[in-house]
Structure 1
Amino acid sequence: MTTVQSAAAPPTAIRPRVVARTGLYAVLAANVAVVAYFFAQAGFASNALIVIGRLTGLSSALIMAFQLVLVARLPWLDRRIGMDRLTSWHRWTGFSLLWTLLAHVVFISFGYADGAGVGPVTELVDLAGTTQGVLRAIVALGLILVIGAVSGRYARRRLAYETWHFIHLYAYVAVVLAFTHQVAVGTTFTSSSAATAYWYGVWAVALGSVLLGRVVLPLWRNTRHQFRVSAVVPESDNVVSVHITGRDLDKLPAQAGQFFLWRFLTRDRWWQANPFSLSAAPDGRSLRLTAKAAGEGSAALRHLKVGTRVFAEGPYGAFTTLHRTRAESLLIAGGVGVTPIRALLEDLDGRTVVIYRVASERDAVLYDELRDLAHAKGAELHLVTGPPVPDKLAPHELTRLVPDLADRDVFLCGPPPMMNAVLRTLGDLDVPKQQIHFERFSLAG
């Protein structure tokens, strides 16, 4: 095994995640202020219901644009905040968007119905038939309602990612329809040349971000690097490592701890994208992923042929040494969650402690590599085996293994139940949140 010695970035008092999050909030707050100014400048209708309806409509437009930025997979944001957190924010702003859109329709319908002396449903039907852009807005609302329904926890757990992702693509159709509605009937949009230029700018930035992060960057990187499978190595009965080569990999901005969305361009799997972490720190010559057979996609990796073309989206993730706050670290891995942990160990200097939690020794994939790497780096390695109960990473057990736990950064990756239990333990031990680093695979459409 070849160990790549790379100097880890020193811990910094300036937390990249805080900087990025504060920047996003500041940009959003500034845009809210600008929208409020243009709304007031356009004047108010005599009917309070219409005023509220227009304001909720503008809020919906701003939220929709913000949502696009959250899922654009822009590298600067992704490296500092992480796709999982950005996806979580996208989900909650999505429900906010749904409610503001419904409020917009309700208040506008009741407001205009009050002036016309008809019912709100009759007025809405009349607006759809006589006012340019209203029918398109109703179609956009219907699409967003469908997307909101499949984004609920119950539906999301029962849909294949590809199905959910395909339905989610209709959100872009809804965005275009909503924008054309705003152009056609938005009083604030047309109130002044400055307001018109502002809204065109907002939508250009939002849609441009998606085009850049989701289309241009992946196509450019794959065209440049020409990824191919160079080796397929079984690690155990149900775990396999896939080695990837390509051109100019030293120019690929990948870090230990990150993951890619991998598409192996075979006849039956080209359409399926799977998120797998790098299981070795990038060395400029090759990449390696290691996956456990948990479904058809991951099980099929064992049968890949050398030379298979690969389309890789990424690198993604904030689970890197960029977020270190302390000179010393604790790495906790569970099961196949050892893959990014093993890669991170290559990037860390200082007195590092590694805890690898598995049910039995036969489940400890990559353990020989981890042991050799820990020896080479001067790290302390603990293999913890046994059933989930009793909890062998409970507070007293964890402090026994790592007495100076509170003075270390903690990097955690493993199955969700194990991660949740360890996070509770770290909370019980009063480990500061800024020293705890973890990431979940949450993919936004």
Structure 2
Amino acid sequence: MIDTARPTPRTPPSTTERARLRDAVPPAESLDIAARRRRRAGRRRSAMTDLLGILAWVSAAIAVTLWLASPGSHTVVGIGGWLTDAGIVAGLVATDLVLVMLVLAARVPLIDRTFGQDNAIAVHRSLGKPVLYLLLAHGALLTLGYGASAGTGPIAETIALFSTPDMPLAYLGLGLFVAVVVSSLVAVRSRLPYEAWHVIHLLSYAAVLVALPHMLSVGSVLAQGMWQRVYWIALYVLALGLIVLYRFALPVVVTLRHRIRVVGVEPIAPGVVSIHLAGRDLDRLGAEGGQYGVWRFWTARTWWHAHPVSFSAVPGRDRARITVRDLGAGSARLGRITPGAFVSLEGPYGLFTSRARTAPYLALVASGIGITPVRSLLEDTDLRPGEATVLLRGTDADQQYLWHETADLAETTGSRLYTMVGHRSRSRESWMTEEDVRRGVSLRSVFPNLLQSDLYVCGPRAWSDLVVREARTAGVPEHQIHQERFES
């Protein structure tokens, strides 16, 4: 049931403190100025997001245009010529989108700041199936086209192509990409250990590399036309260069510069631990409340597993903290790490921060381990009394992770805090408990200024999707909804 009480009793503010908080409230015109600044910042981010999307499709259009402008590379003769040309176009667009996918997965700071790494990865995943279909069409159409032109059947033409130099690598690249896309399907990924899925996903890099010789030697696009060759090689260098720079080189530099080590592991609930870290100049990481890092703990049992985990507190000069729930074999081992273990870090990443705000009020909703970015966001945001409202959701007392700390932060900032404890409703699809459903509780009743609020939601995917769906139904603009999905 939803409750306005703190998880534990707190001493109310003194008369002097209440007066201080009341006097701290700025005049209405200051609120309007702050809101206008946030809206302008939101419009700039939206424009940048649109620009990146346009550039991605423009790059594919340029690739096709260069091929069309190349004399002799697209002579159409009969049905075989049409099939061959269609296969080439499918391959051009597919290859371009593969390189776009690599750029989106490279964790480029500009992309992260513009629309968040989680959104970039969502777009990356959404391109997987279209690219696979285009690659399959590329192979099938070329095989049929060459066969029709030569008067041979598809099987004979496939055998002939396979005997061509570098074509076995092209088939290998296609097979690797099929494995990557299939392993990313929800039904398949849920059955795979994270480690196995991660290794399979790394094959996408290998798929791109092994297909390159085929494009340079067999593919008529890169073998003919100097401008096309320059364009495609530049695209490959850009995509693979960003991967090398931001996925490998920069994390090494960050790790060596800050020398992060584990100094303590604190159990806070069954299956949940806070890992306390120490390092050098950690405040210079530039981490904001709500962001996450990809952590690797260099012990014999954990070095091979990277963990995307949010900061559960804003890093100080030489201290940082993350809080981890046991969601599998890899994360379970983190609770047994001994102090002194060396830690490497990629990040910080994410746009689940106050930088994304566009509205005058702040609404925070967290469930389970989703409290971690919400707690650090609340800590890191400059708030006026009454500006923020926090709702914490847990199935039972064992899921009230960091609730005491969050209550203290809410009291310090003059924010309202609500808690909701109990199993989700079974009578209807809802993110609330059965009792709250019967009482008619809604986002609008918990957050009176919901339509004038930035709504930050973090928790298990299915639960947080229900919260976001209700917010959209209530009329909250899309740019005011910020969702960080945690797997249950």
Provide the rounded CA distance (Å) in 1 between the counterparts of 2:192 and 2:350: 24
Q: Contact 1:318–1:439 at 8 Å: present in 2 too? A: no
Unpaired segments of 5 or more residues in structure 1?
A: 1-7
Tell me which of 223, 228, 233 is aligned to 2:266.
Answer: 233
Provide the rounded CA distance (Å) in 1 between the counterparts of 2:134 and 2:293: 34
1:276 is the counterpart of 2:309: yes
Provide the rounded CA distance (Å) in 1 between the counterparts of 2:420 and 2:485: 22
Which residue identity lines up with residue 375 of structure 1 in the other structure? Answer: E
Equivalence for 1:402: 447
Provide the rounded CA distance (Å) in 1 between the counterparts of 2:129 and 2:461: 24
1:216 is the counterpart of 2:249: yes
CA distance 1:363–1:33, change in 2 (3 Å): closer
Equivalence for 1:31: 59
Tell me which of 279, 288, 291 is aligned to 2:324.
Answer: 291
Tell me which of 363, 371, 382 is aligned to 2:407.
Answer: 371
Segment drifting more, 8-17 vs 312-321: 8-17
Matches within 5 A, 1:232-251: 232-251=265-284
Tell me which of 69, 87, 90 is aligned to 1:56.
Answer: 90
Matches within 5 A, 1:423-434: 423-434=468-479
Equivalence for 1:360: 396
Which residue identity lines up with residue 364 of structure 2 in the other structure? Answer: L
Segment drifting more, 388-397 vs 372-381: 388-397
Q: Contact 1:38–1:188 at 8 Å: present in 2 too? A: no
Q: How big is each residue's C-alpha offset from its partner over 1:315-355, in whole Å with a ceiling of 9 and x where there is no partner?
A: 12221111101122011111221111110111221311111
Which residue identity lines up with residue 386 of structure 1 in the other structure? Answer: G
Equivalence for 1:154: 187
Matches within 5 A, 1:12-411: 12-15=39-42, 17-42=45-70, 43=72, 44-45=74-75, 46=77, 47-129=81-163, 131-348=164-381, 349-350=383-384, 351-389=387-425, 391-392=432-433, 396-411=441-456
Deviation at 1:192, TM superposition (A): 2.4
Q: Contact 2:87–2:138 at 8 Å: present in 1 too? A: yes
Q: How big is each residue's C-alpha offset from its partner over 1:30-76, in whole Å with a ceiling of 9 and x where there is no partner?
A: 21232122111224222211111211121222111111111111122
Segment drifting more, 428-437 vs 30-39: 30-39
Deviation at 1:404, TM superposition (A): 1.5
CA distance 1:191–1:291, change in 2 (3 Å): same
Provide the rounded CA distance (Å) in 2 between the counterparts of 1:396 and 1:360: 19
Q: CA RMSD in A?
A: 2.0
Higher Rg of the two aligned structures = 2
Segment drifting more, 223-232 vs 390-399: 390-399
Equivalence for 1:416: 461
Deviation at 1:82, TM superposition (A): 2.5
Partner of 2:41, secondary structure, is coil
Q: How many residues align structurally?
A: 434
Partner of 2:295, secondary structure, is strand
Q: How big is each residue's C-alpha offset from its partner over 1:90-113, in whole Å with a ceiling of 9 and x where there is no partner?
A: 222121111111111111111111
Structure 1 runs of 4+ with >6 Å offset = none
Provide the rounded CA distance (Å) in 1 between the counterparts of 2:398 and 2:187: 35
Deviation at 1:122, TM superposition (A): 0.5
TM-score normalised according to structure 1 size: 0.92
Partner of 2:442, secondary structure, is helix
Deviation at 1:142, TM superposition (A): 1.6
Provide the rounded CA distance (Å) in 2 between the counterparts of 1:31 and 1:57: 14
Provide the rounded CA distance (Å) in 2 between the counterparts of 1:332 and 1:228: 31
Q: How big is each residue's C-alpha offset from its partner over 1:13-33, in whole Å with a ceiling of 9 and x where there is no partner?
A: 232542342122221232123
Partner of 2:38, secondary structure, is coil
Provide the rounded CA distance (Å) in 1 between the counterparts of 2:130 and 2:447: 43
TM-score normalised according to structure 2 size: 0.84
Q: How big is each residue's C-alpha offset from its partner over 1:255-282, in whole Å with a ceiling of 9 and x where there is no partner?
A: 1111112221111111112221111122
Provide the rounded CA distance (Å) in 1 between the counterparts of 2:312 and 2:253: 24
Segment drifting more, 26-35 vs 220-229: 26-35
Provide the rounded CA distance (Å) in 2 between the counterparts of 1:21 and 1:231: 40
